[in-house]
Structure 1
């Protein structure tokens, strides 16, 4: 495989579906060129490479940060190249080309505070220790298999308030026939209040599903409206494989309206009793 610098998940010649519903997102069911995807899939790290307490952890989220991929010799050249491409200034500019209006509208106060347009912000790799206005991460992640009842890896929630943008490239194994693992996008109802970053199910409506599939991608602008979750996976020995692409800041970029303390106590009690 030739390492073409334009072969990023938001490559100029890609086939994408852009939507502002229920919040700004872009999806592709065939994200990367087939030869590039096959090389990345074939050299995706084995579960033993992920930091954990043994390989039998049930429904655990295990991740390898981009800094480790670049620093250690055990990762393929294809993955090192992929991480470099997606933590560089050029990728931030591609994100702005796709989501510029939504990013400017959602974070205009930050742009004014910076005193310069987003396209001139300094980009640093997350975890590099280098100074930056925004920090790009590209982590390799697995949700481990399960032996018990079906469960969700997550509940309706918004990503951390330090995050401006999230991208998810899924690498489903051909042998994995289990249902679930899809990313669900929600619309929040009027008056919605959060428990930290979690949203109550009766305060959101499921609107869009991004299927967990091989070579599939979804990217979206983060914020109070960007409510999402992962659908239930049944008992399965297969891991859910994906790349977590993020744009972070070193301080919160927005605030979420919070539940009244009494409401929060009731919300947590109900979910604890339900085992969710």
Structure 2
């Protein structure tokens, strides 16, 4: 299985409004087609309550460990999540953003992101591993109510090291919206990091990355890594993607003190 980062170098990093990489046509057409065709059905990914009709524009997920052990999911999917939740792939990410990891994160890990015991979310825990990886299939359900955003401007959980999104939009999905939006703090002022979203009046939108098939976005966690999902219009289509991340036990990200 080819890495999403194959051929990518630190020269590909964009720094506005925060360090990130956007790439199109990331995987070869056959692999992308196989992953799209084999994307877990709602009966597989919506395991939280499979007998209940899902709400409008709600998120569900299926972690790498569940995918690897699912009897009905395809070999390409098992190979993909195994590759992208491995210590080797984590090392690729670390090297790619070598000049952009926050000092607070490096201090939390003793000065170096590498050389730690690695594990897999759900299979392992932080008593066994310093860093847990995941590469999970995620969806936002069809928008059956008013147009909505699944999540506005926010920072990811303060124990996360990086976020990678790989989009598997289906060819028939013609829904406007659902793009990734990048924000910056207004006047550079970092407000409280508590809550599901940051106040809308504290940020300004800087860039929009369209939700397009075979596109990847990846960025380190940090105080300025503000992002959100644009409003999706009413649609029968499911928004589907892979979410890849790594986490440590403690919340290393904190708002600056005066």
What secondary structure is seen at the aligned counterpart in 1 of 2:151?
coil
What TM-score results when the alignment is normalised by the length of structure 1? 0.85
For residue 247 of structure 1, what is the aligned residue in structure 2?
Answer: 246
Matched, 1:97 2:92: no
For residue 35 of structure 1, what is the aligned residue in structure 2?
Answer: 30
For residue 4 of structure 2, what is the aligned residue in structure 1?
Answer: 9
The superposition leaves residues 180-222 of structure 1 with CA deviations (integer Å, 9 ceiling, x where unpaired) of 1111011112333136142111111111212101001000111
Q: Distance in 2 between matches of 1:101 and 1:167?
A: 18
Higher relative contact order (CA 8 A, sep 6+): 2
Question: Which range moved further: 142-151 or 160-169?
Answer: 142-151
Q: Distance in 2 between matches of 1:64 and 1:179?
A: 25
Return the offset for 1:91.
0.3
The superposition leaves residues 59-104 of structure 1 with CA deviations (integer Å, 9 ceiling, x where unpaired) of 2111111111111211111111011101111101110121122125
Q: Is this contact kept in 1: 2:165–2:244, CA < 8 A?
A: yes
Matched, 1:136 2:133: yes
Q: Find 1:49's aligned residue among 44, 47, 62.
A: 44
- Structure 2 vs 1, CA of residues 257 and 36 (structure 1 numbering), >3 Å: closer, same or farther? same
- Structure 2 vs 1, CA of residues 106 and 208 (structure 1 numbering), >3 Å: closer, same or farther? farther
Considering only CA atoms, is the larger Rg found in Structure 1 or Structure 2? Answer: 1
What secondary structure is seen at the aligned counterpart in 2 of 1:186?
strand
Return the offset for 1:106.
5.0
Question: Which range moved further: 153-162 or 116-125?
Answer: 116-125
For residue 213 of structure 1, what is the aligned residue in structure 2?
Answer: 212
Q: Distance in 2 between matches of 1:19 and 1:221?
A: 12
Matched, 1:118 2:113: yes
Q: Is this contact kept in 1: 2:155–2:225, CA < 8 A?
A: yes
What secondary structure is seen at the aligned counterpart in 2 of 1:103?
coil
